[in-house]
Amino acid sequence: MINAIHQSTLNTAFRCGEQFRRRYMEGEVIPPGIAAGRGTGVHGANEVNLKQKITSGIDLPINDLKDAARDAFVNAFRNGIYLARDDRPKKKTILNEGLNDTLRLTELYRDKVAPDIQPVAVERKFNVVIPGIPLPLAGRMDYEKRARVGDLKSATKSWPEGRINEEIQPIFYSYVHEHEEGIRPEFIYHILVALKKETKLQTQTKTATDADYRGLMARCAAFCQMVQAGVFPPANPSDWWCGEKWCGYYQTCPYVGNSLPKKEI
C-alpha cells in the first residue's frame, strides 16, 4: 500500500512503472546490486559520523568510519545480491572489489567531505502534508544545515556537468526544507568517485526555482493518479536502465518478452 510519496518511489515510478508496480505495489523485493551496496556502505559511515558530530563537533577516526562502512556494506547483502547472469561466476570478485571501493571512498569522505560539514540534523525523518496533493511527502534527509541540504553519491565514473539538474531529489528535499524551515536551501551532492587507480571528489549544487517546485507538484499529482488508476507504463526499451545489468526485474519482465515469476499458492 502506498501511503506517502518518497523521492525514491517518485523516481522509480517515472523511470519504469512496471518496476514500481512490482517493488512497491506487489512487494516483490529484488536484492540490491553492487552499486547500491557501495552507496549504503558510504552512507553508513556518514550517518555514524555526523550523528555524533552534532554534539561533539569532531569527526570520528578513519578506522571507526571504515568499520561502519564495512558493516553497512555487508548488511546490505544479508538477503543476497543481484547480478546479471554473465556476472554470477564473478560474484566473489565483484563483492571484494565493491567492498574495497567502499573503503576507499570512505577515506575520501573522511578527508575531503566530513571536515566541512557541521550538521544541525542527520537522517531526519519527515512527513509533510501538501494542500492539493492526496499523499504526504515523506523520507529522510541525509544532513541539513540552516540553509543547505546535502547528500552523498558514490560512483565509478565521473558525473557529467549539470547532472544534478536531471535529478528529482534536490528539488524534493529543497521543497520540504523550505516548507518546514522557511528558507530555500542550496542543495549539494558530494559525489565520491572510485576510479581504478584513484578516488575523486566532485560537487554539484542547485538552488531550486519556483518552476522546479511547480514541476515537482505536477509530478506528485500525476503519481497519485497513477497509483489510484493502477496503470503503470513500462520504461522505453531504449532507456539505458532497461537491461539485465541494471534492472533486477528484467529477467522476468513481460515487456521485454520474459515470463513473470510464478506466485506461490
**pLDDT tens-digit series, residues 137-155:** 999 999 888 899 999 999 9
Element (H, E) at 108: helix 91-108
**Statement: residue 18 has pLDDT above 90:** yes
- CATH class of the region 1-26+119-265: alpha beta
The answer, yes or no, to whether residue 255 has pLDDT greater than 80, is yes
Q: Report the chain's mean pLDDT, rounded to a whole number.
A: 95
pLDDT digits (tens, 9 = 90+) for 64-113: 999 999 999 999 999 999 999 999 999 999 999 999 999 999 999 999 99
Can you point out the beta strands (E) in the chain? 121-128, 137-144, 148-155, 186-194, 199-206
Q: What ranges do the domains of the chain cover?
A: 1-26+119-265, 31-118
Evaluate if residue 264 carries a pLDDT over 90: no
Q: What is the pLDDT of residues 152-167, one digit of tens each?
A: 999 999 999 999 999 9
Distance in angstroms (rounded) separating the CA atoms of residues 36 and 49: 20
pLDDT at 263: 60
pLDDT of 198-245, one tens digit each? 999 999 999 999 999 999 999 999 999 999 999 999 999 999 999 999
Residue 14 clears pLDDT 80, i.e. is over it: yes
Using CA atoms, how far apart are residues 255 and 237, in angstroms rounded to an integer? 9
User: pLDDT value at position 261?
Assistant: 72
Q: How high is the pLDDT of residue 79? A: 94
Give the whole-number percent of the chain exceeding pLDDT 70.
98
